[in-house]
Amino acid sequence: MEPHTMRNFFSLAAGLSLFLFLPLLLQAADDPTYDEAVVIERLKSIEDPLVENRYNSIVKGYIKGYLFWNRDKAERILGRTVMYFPLMEEYLSKRNMPDKLKYLSVVESALYPHAVSRVGAVGLWQFMPETGKEYGLEINEFVDERKDPNKSTQAALDYLSRQYEKYGDWALALAAYNSGSGRVSRAIKRGRSKNFWRIRRYMPRETRNYVPAYIAATYLMEFYKEHEIVPEYPVLDYQITETIKVYDQFSFNRIAQVTGLSLEVIEMLNPAYKKGIIPDNQTGNYLILPKRVMPAFKDYLEAQRPDQLADHFFDDSPVLVLKQKENWKEKYIRQTYVVKKGESLKKIAKNLKCTVHQIIAWNRLPSTELKEGQKLLIYQPKEFKRFKPLEKMEELPLAPGIRLEERQIHPSRKDAREDAFNQLVYIVQDKGTLERIYRKIPGASLPVLIGLNGIPPNHKLKPGDRLKVQRIKH
């Protein structure tokens, strides 16, 4: 079965293909504000093009669809680049593949992970079920990894690299991505050429128009500012995120309880999980959260191991959180960065631990060129949320007989079942000796801590180490 077909684009909700709109676009292609000569020159000026940027009536129709009749949808597509392009660029860079391959996702899904075509292709890269499974994407009652930004991107690049190795030409690789390598190979045989434009007439109509659609998407991404299209960027919690791999099962309700996020935010950032549950997976599942709350979730992971302490407080019951109406900027501080001589966006982004796309979004930059002394707005989380088991466990007994030993907790030989009800766990936040750190623990006594944990006062502790502490009796 063919791996891909041209997907819903301008009307995602209705599941309509862009090709259905093409006759309408071509009929309306005489808009007087459209300067065809300028567009052609801009296409020629694109550096390191993935394919030969030819201009014809099909390309013209697609470009005008973005610029005029579906301008609002183009603004939403551009806004979503800040969420998805950075991770695509990272994978492309690691594989030494052309950066402009990321524009293909615009053609496929308009950067909408829940996109579903009329023939059942799904996700940012629009995999059919059979092809998705062939390239390692799990599809079951709990997860559809075709919607996972990380895993689907890796699978798409696997597919594209295989096609490029076969044909040695990106235009043919894109055509094969759309209709399958069999049709492309037959077109090559019939046309006696490996030039896409020469054998294009031997391909299905959808595939003939696929490379022109990619050229138009490239034009939009490169020159939207010249047409005064303003990207509709998402809120900062969707822009400033962090990704980790988790291996155990987690419910979105549990994640919401730990982080204080609404289910809406968690679902938006993690579209692959169907039932609000991340299933366990030995190879790992990706979890994306706003960067400001990721420390809390990582603290929770630490608190879980090895005695499952955190699970005594949290459960998987529904979390009732109203749709966010707050001012997202209240959670972030705005700073000003002054550009130094010779600095590039890429260098500044690396130094400030953000992305080029974020700096462009925050400053509405008209170009990537910077000037010495130019001021850039930079957003950072106002504070990082932490998960503190000590505050949450006050009315809960600990598992009996635990002690700290070289950052590992082992069962003690003594049965301290009754004493455990009078103990809590303190997770060390800073490096230092027990003698220094004990002062930060409310009501703690150094001799008692030494006795409970069996360590000397000069024992060096690290962040994440656990100390048994005595419950304060009221």
pLDDT tens per residue, range 449-461: 777 777 777 788 8
Looking at every residue in the chain, the average pLDDT score rounds to 83
Cα 465-469-474 angle, rounded to 5 deg: 150
- Cα–Cα distance between 210 and 225 in angstroms, integer? 24
In b/e form, how buried is each residue of 95-109, taking b as 16+ CB within 10 angstroms?
eebbebbbbbbbbbb
Side chain identity at residue 114, one-letter code: H
Instruction: Confirm or reject CATH 3.40.50.1820 for domain 328-381, answering yes or no.
Output: no
pLDDT at position 427, please? 78
- Cα–Cα distance between 326 and 160 in angstroms, integer? 42
DSSP state of 17: E
Is a pLDDT exceeding 90 seen at residue 414?
Answer: no
- Cα–Cα distance between 250 and 248 in angstroms, integer? 6
pLDDT, greater one: 133 or 469: 133
Q: Find the range with the poorest average confidence among 230-234, 268-272, 288-292, 326-330.
A: 326-330
Three-class SS of residue 421? Answer: helix
pLDDT at position 415, please? 38
Side chain identity at residue 345, one-letter code: L
**Residues 101-126 pLDDT 10s:** 999 999 999 999 999 999 999 999 99
Torsion of CA 440, 444, 445, 449, to 10 degrees: -90
Tell me the pLDDT band of 5, cut-offs 50, 70 and 90: very low
Side chain identity at residue 223, one-letter code: F
In Å, how far are 140, 175, 337 from 58, measured between CA atoms? 38, 16, 44
pLDDT at position 459, please? 80
Burial of 266 (0-12, 13-18, 19+ CB in 10 A): buried
Question: How far from chain centre, in Å, is Cα 98?
Answer: 20
Tell me the pLDDT band of 326, cut-offs 50, 70 and 90: low
Nearest Cα neighbor of 261 from 311, 331, 310 is 331
Q: Find the range with the poorest average confidence among 91-95, 142-146, 339-343, 433-437.
A: 433-437
pLDDT at position 244, please? 96
Across residues 144-159, what is the average pLDDT? 98
Beta strands in 366-438 (DSSP E): 375-381, 402-405, 408-411, 423-427, 432-433
- Cα–Cα distance between 468 and 447 in angstroms, integer? 12
Is the N-terminal amide bond of 306 cis, ω within 30° of 0? yes
Is a pLDDT exceeding 90 seen at residue 392?
Answer: no
* Domain limits, the chain: 8-227, 236-312, 328-381, 397-470
465's CB contacts (< 8 A; 6+ apart) are 404, 407, 427, 428
Across residues 71-77, what is the average pLDDT? 96
Is a pLDDT exceeding 70 seen at residue 165?
Answer: yes
Is a pLDDT exceeding 60 seen at residue 195?
Answer: yes
Q: Find the range with the poorest average confidence among 151-165, 196-210, 312-326.
A: 312-326
pLDDT at position 92, please? 98
Side chain identity at residue 141, one-letter code: E
Three-class SS of residue 122? Answer: strand
**Residues 395-410 pLDDT 10s:** 333 333 333 333 333 3
Across residues 375-383, what is the average pLDDT? 94
- Cα–Cα distance between 20 and 12 in angstroms, integer? 13
Is a pLDDT exceeding 60 seen at residue 168?
Answer: yes
pLDDT at position 307, please? 44
Tell me the pLDDT band of 434, cut-offs 50, 70 and 90: confident
Question: How far from chain centre, in Å, is Cα 206?
Answer: 30
Three-class SS of residue 95? Answer: helix
- Do you know the residue count of the chain? 474
Q: Find the range with the poorest average confidence among 5-9, 349-353, 368-372.
A: 5-9
Burial of 282 (0-12, 13-18, 19+ CB in 10 A): exposed
Token pair listed for 194: 């490996």
Tell me the pLDDT band of 24, cut-offs 50, 70 and 90: very low
Is a pLDDT exceeding 80 seen at residue 65?
Answer: yes
Cα 49-55-60 angle, rounded to 5 deg: 115
Is a pLDDT exceeding 90 seen at residue 287?
Answer: yes
**Biggest alpha carbon–alpha carbon distance for the chain:** 89
Q: Find the range with the poorest average confidence among 22-31, 145-154, 184-193, 335-344.
A: 22-31
Side chain identity at residue 227, one-letter code: H
20's CB contacts (< 8 A; 6+ apart) are none
Tell me the pLDDT band of 303, cut-offs 50, 70 and 90: confident
Handedness of CA 204, 210, 212, 213 (dihedral sign): positive
What share of the chain in percent tops pLDDT 90? 66
End-to-end CA distance of the chain: 70
DSSP state of 426: E
pLDDT at position 305, please? 57
Token pair listed for 4: 């891909």
Nearest Cα neighbor of 164 from 177, 153, 178 is 177
Is a pLDDT exceeding 90 seen at residue 3?
Answer: no
pLDDT at position 448, please? 74
Task: Determine contact, residues 422/470, Cβ cutoff 8 Å.
Answer: yes
CATH for 8-227 is 1.10.530.10
